[in-house]
Structure 1
Amino acid sequence: MLTFVGLGLYDERDVSVKGLQTIRDSDLVYAEFYTSRLMGATPEKLAQLYGREVKVLTREEVEVSPEGWLGRAKEEKVAFLVGGDPMISTTHLDLRLRALRMGIETRIVHSSSIVTAVSGMTGLQNYRFGRSTSIPYPYVAGGRRIVAMSPRDVVVDNLARDLHTLLFLDIQPERYMTAGEGAALLLEMEEEACGDRFNSSLGVGVARAGSEDAVVVADWLRKLVDRDLGGPLQILVVPGRLHFMEAEALVALAGAPPEILEMAEP
């Protein structure tokens, strides 16, 4: 049996009672923390609370060659721990499908996710979100700095339909993209595309969701570039046209410019 266990948003205490019991009842406990991380916890803290050794897997062990550890779930109870809620990442769905093809039974223990937490923290209505996307760090190829344009295309498409866009920000070893960096990259993409759609767009940054010092800041995208939200993890939202209650919420909860109230739908 392979059980995917969501650990929640921030630290080792966010796991559900069902998840905790599943972990303690497992023969083997694995985890991956490259698609998401619990910034308030370490593998040592997890092991201390769970009473079980937690082996953290590399990306290669999860995505390229998981057969070794995965095969043990044919005869033993294996828990696979992930930040947030399982299956939000396609990596986890791929792993589940691999397990099923190997004849391994699977199940999921759900937990809180940034996907739903953002709505509660910002006041943006969850049914008004369109397709989400990720903003990666630029990279160098052939001596040129390359900025992926696909996030900009997703935001533009959602804005055209008056939908909000949730943008996951790149996570690398010891490097975590901030909402301000994400906003700056979006503006750079728009400039590269010779557009000006984002000059009047609002941006909402959320930092450290689930922690006691969580921060939500809303400002014009061009101004959000210089806003300091503190430490990771952070996420960025570009809202579409706002309902008046959403606008009121952003002003009250995130310090958004009051003029957005005049632009909101009745």
Structure 2
Amino acid sequence: MNAVGCCGLQLYNFGETVSIVMWTDEWQPESYYDKIALNRQRGMHTLCLLDIKTKEQTIENMMRGRKIFEPARYQKCSEAASQLLTICERRKAKGETCAYDENTMVVGLARVGWDNQKIVYASMKEMSEIEMGEPLHSLIIPGETHPLEVDMLETFRA
């Protein structure tokens, strides 16, 4: 949590942290949306930790007891933003209001603390198309912001 302070958002304004999982064709959970919506309702920022898949096995290899692992996969900010937009579309199709939209500004962070760290401030739609490079990535959905926070975020504008 402290590391993401490098983007300029005040740590005391963060609500609950969520984990965004990688979707598959068969499994697309949306449970983290409710915490994001609650944080936004309260005016709090949401730190979204993005999924990593290491030491994953296929079901067949697990069942056969083979210690063969799939290549490591790391979720990107663009993938997380796309998933969040899909959830919003689904909610709107059910007649619900969404806690954010494609114009909601978000912060993408990659490799925080490394020499080649990258921070980008962009709309959710723009973030869904931005390549942040190598992992690890995190995404922040800001809540209510102080003018000083906005000034700092603008330095990272896409």
Instruction: Give TM class, smaller chain.
Output: 0.7 to 0.9
| 2:145 pairs with 1:247 | no
Structure 1 residues 46-70: Cα deviation after superposition (integer angstroms, max 9, x where no partner): xxxxxxxxxxxxxxxxxxxxxxxxx
In structure 1, what is the equivalent of residue 52 of structure 2?
171
Residue aligned with 1:235, SS = strand
More helix by share: 1
1:13-28 mapped onto 2 (5 Å cutoff): none
Report deviation, 1:152. Answer: 1.3
Residue of 122, 127, 133 corresponding to 2:18: 133
Tell me the TM-score normalized by structure 1.
0.49
Report deviation, 1:196. Answer: 4.0
Residue of 32, 43, 47 corresponding to 1:151: 32
1:20-169 mapped onto 2 (5 Å cutoff): 115-119=1-5, 121-140=6-25, 145-169=26-50
Paired amino acid for 1:157: L
Contact 2:48 2:139 (C-alpha < 8 Å) held by counterparts: yes
In structure 1, what is the equivalent of residue 85 of structure 2?
187
User: Quick one: distance in 2 between partners of 1:189 and 1:146?
Assistant: 13
The runs of 4+ residues in structure 1 deviating greater than 4 Å are: none
Tell me the TM-score normalized by structure 2.
0.82
Structure 1 residues 127-174: Cα deviation after superposition (integer angstroms, max 9, x where no partner): 00000010011135xxxx331111211111100010000000000021
Q: 1:146 to 1:193 in 2, by over 3 A?
A: farther
Report deviation, 1:197. Answer: 3.4
State the aligned residue count: 136
Please tell me whether Structure 1 or Structure 2 has the larger radius of gyration of its CA atoms: 1
Paired amino acid for 1:116: N
Relative contact order higher in (CA < 8 Å, ≥ 6 apart): 2
| 2:113 pairs with 1:210 | yes
Paired amino acid for 1:155: I
State the percentage of identical aligned residues. 32
Question: Which ranges in structure 1 are unaligned for 5 or more consecutive residues?
Answer: 1-114, 257-266
| 2:137 pairs with 1:234 | yes
In structure 1, what is the equivalent of residue 58 of structure 2?
none
Root-mean-square deviation (CA, aligned residues, Å) is 1.3
Structure 1 residues 159-198: Cα deviation after superposition (integer angstroms, max 9, x where no partner): 0010000000000021000011111111111111124432
| 2:96 pairs with 1:198 | no
